[in-house]
Chains A and B, each alone.
Chain A
Amino acid sequence: MSISRIFSIMKRELSLGPRSPMLLFALALPLILTAVFQLIFGGLWQEKPVLAVYDVGDGVVISELEKNKAIDIIDADSEDEILNLVEVREADVGVIFPQDIEDILKEGKEVTLKTYVDGEAYAKDRTIIAATMLSVLRSIAPEGPEVDFEQILLGEERGLGILEMMLPFLVLYGVMGGAFLGPAILLVGAKEKKTITALLVTPSSKAEILAAFGIMGVVLAVIMGIVVLLLNGGWTQPPLMIPLLILSSIFMAELGLIAGLAVNDLNTLFANMKIFGILLVAPELFIIFPKWPQWIAKIFPTYYFMHPVLRISIYGDGLAEVGWELLVLLGFIILFFIPIPFLAKRLGK
């Protein structure tokens, strides 16, 4: 393996390859869809979540809360006012801080906070509010506050908003455009134009050539994933999201190489893409229809990418919750590597 040869091939494909109109379209599609969804369903992510606070005590917590930039705070004077603000949907969540909360927290005792939650508030807004409250309380009691939330739901629980539901789909599309279509289109293109045979008679091995196409796809896909998450407000936990994006891009790049090796012309590739694309996107249906039996979604490999995206960016889950899904993804990466060397034998014939 020569890193410099892999880099040479990758650089060439990255600088000239994405000029392919099909690939450009595939990369633009998730961005166009983002814009369309935002226009139709409103700029979900532009408005900050709103928390109404009734601080019975001396207002230390509320003044700390007001320093944050993630949420807007309404200072209420009574529990009734809180209830009203949430009912008329001026606030997503209302919270009551008891009289001596500061002392209780500092003593390390458990405190229960009464919250009113608007059933129609976005899951993501609720997550941001809870996370902000916890971080503020932590600044008061650094040893770790013992907080329990007593939730009172007002109105109908409506589940995920359309833009929230679409987030995993859009991110998948971005990753698919880069990591699947990138290597597949460029590899099949190189076969159609015969340039692959010119590469194969240089000292570059098939492994190096395929690695270059694959890595190029991963780079494109991670960039696409980050852009789509940023545009849709889902870029909340980069330290966890980056490994997830890398793993899913590697998996997609393997599928892209398999398709690129198996197929000899672009028409066949696109014809098969449709069936293949539906299989990849299938888990999205189970996010849109939560009443469907969810175990079926778990059959599809892309579930282990789409579900963690949802959990991490909408519900604020951490490694403890999604770690096992990343491991399953790793398993799929190992499994789908197996056919590649066999298919590679046909390359150049």
Chain B
Amino acid sequence: MEKVILAEKIAYSYNKTLAVDHISFHIDKGEILGFLGPNGAGKTTTIKMLIGLLAPQDGKISVLGMDTAKELNKIQAQIGVCFEEKNLYEEMSAIENLKFFASLFGIKKIDAAALLKKVNLLVEKRQKVASFSKGMKQRLMMARALINYPKVLFLDEPTDGLDPVSARAVRDVILEEKEKGATIFLTTHDMMEADKLSDRVAFINEGKISVIDTPENLKHEYGKRILKIRYRLDGRVEEEELSLEDKDMSKRIDEINSKHSILDMHTEEATLEDIFIKFTGRKLEG
């Protein structure tokens, strides 16, 4: 498998804060890696190093087989970036923004309308970005990231602060790009999103990666699957949790069933959030 992104022991500190602490990871071609971590974990700093805004103070990065320290502009021609901070030209319209950035990639003809349609901004295409809502700007940033038909996408919390409909539109675009073969680095602190979109997730906390694996493996290995049963006992509702791995589970169910009337029972999977807490001792949000 071709390693489209390869980071080896990269580190970056601002003055005294060690924001990224010698982390290593890779992303295969066509894969989505979800970078999951709480505020201040070092997600944005990592992305900034990968796209060449910050030079790693230690370690090495290659993107599409090229060293970011040496062939940055060549790499940048083939990547798309959706920033965490809004950085569109507010005094220009949506369409002008797209055309201007296309010109910097040497692209003369772009189908701006098709891109805007993808992110549901076709109607507002001639409006000044200054008049856009936060979510509209975010969607336009997503469209801009696709302007050069990128082979690699770097998305820094692309659905942050979006309403469910907008978030859905953005997620659909991400999956569509993956379908087309794009390799995607996605940061988020939304574990549902990471679970839904990512082929693999990396947990990052305080600048360190504690684990990288597929969501399924993580849940299988680290999460316990349980069965919750509620039944009536002397007029009260009792609840009992049984581990699905427990060999005596069915015996206990029979026992409850014979003595009491079962109200309901359902299985529960551990969430990525539970596993994150297990690894880092910290919640994703708050």
Residues of A within 8 A of B (CB): 2, 4-5, 8-9, 12, 16, 19, 193-205, 348-349
Contact = CB atoms under 8 A, between A and B. Distances in A.
Given A8-B104, A199-B104, A349 B53 contact: yes
Contacts of A195: 87-89
Main secondary structure of the interface of B (DSSP, over half): loop
A201 B51 CA distance: 7
Contacts of A202: 76, 101, 104-105
A203 B77 contact: yes
A204 B104 contact: yes
Given A197-B87, A201-B53, A203-B105, 8 more contacts: A16-B91, A193-B87, A194-B85, A201-B79, A202-B76, A202-B105, A203-B73, A203-B104
Interface in B44-103: 51-54, 73-74, 76-77, 79, 81, 83, 85-92, 100-101, 103
A198 B105 CA distance: 12
Contacts of A205: 73
B164 interface: no
B106 interface: yes
Contacts of A197: 53, 83, 85, 87
A348 B53 CA distance: 6
A30 B53 CA distance: 39
Nearest to B77: A203
A349 B49 CA distance: 10
Q: Which 8 A-B pairs have the closest CB atoms?
A: A194-B87, A202-B104, A203-B77, A8-B103, A198-B87, A348-B53, A203-B73, A201-B81
10 contacts: A4-B103, A12-B89, A194-B85, A197-B87, A200-B53, A201-B79, A203-B76, A203-B77, A205-B73, A348-B53
A9 B83 contact: no
A7 to B, nearest CB: 9
Contacts of B51: 201
B104 A194 contact: no
B53 A9 contact: no
Contacts, number: 62
A192 to B, nearest CB: 11
A296 B276 CA distance: 69
A26 B186 CA distance: 44
A201 B100 contact: no
A117 to B, nearest CB: 56
A201 B91 CA distance: 20
A19 B100 CA distance: 18
B85 to A, nearest CB: 5
A4 B105 CA distance: 10
A141 B254 CA distance: 129
Contact of A2 (B88, B101, B106): B106
Nearest to A7: B103
A194 B79 contact: no
Contact of A198 (B77, B83, B91, B103): B83
B72 to A, nearest CB: 8
A198 B88 contact: yes
Nearest to B85: A194
Contact of B101 (A193, A194, A198, A348): A198
Contacts of B81: 201
B53 A12 contact: no
B100 A12 contact: yes
Interface in B239-256: none
B55 to A, nearest CB: 9
Contacts of A348: 53-54
Given A4-B103, A202-B101, A19 B77 contact: no
B88 A9 contact: no
Contacts of A4: 103, 106
Nearest to A17: B91
Contacts of B89: 12, 16, 195
B54 A349 contact: yes
A21 to B, nearest CB: 13
B49 to A, nearest CB: 11
A8 B73 CA distance: 17
Contacts of A5: 103-104, 106
A307 B91 CA distance: 41
A202 B147 CA distance: 11
Nearest to B78: A203
A9 B90 CA distance: 15
Contacts of B101: 198, 202
A33 B86 CA distance: 40
Contacts of A196: 87
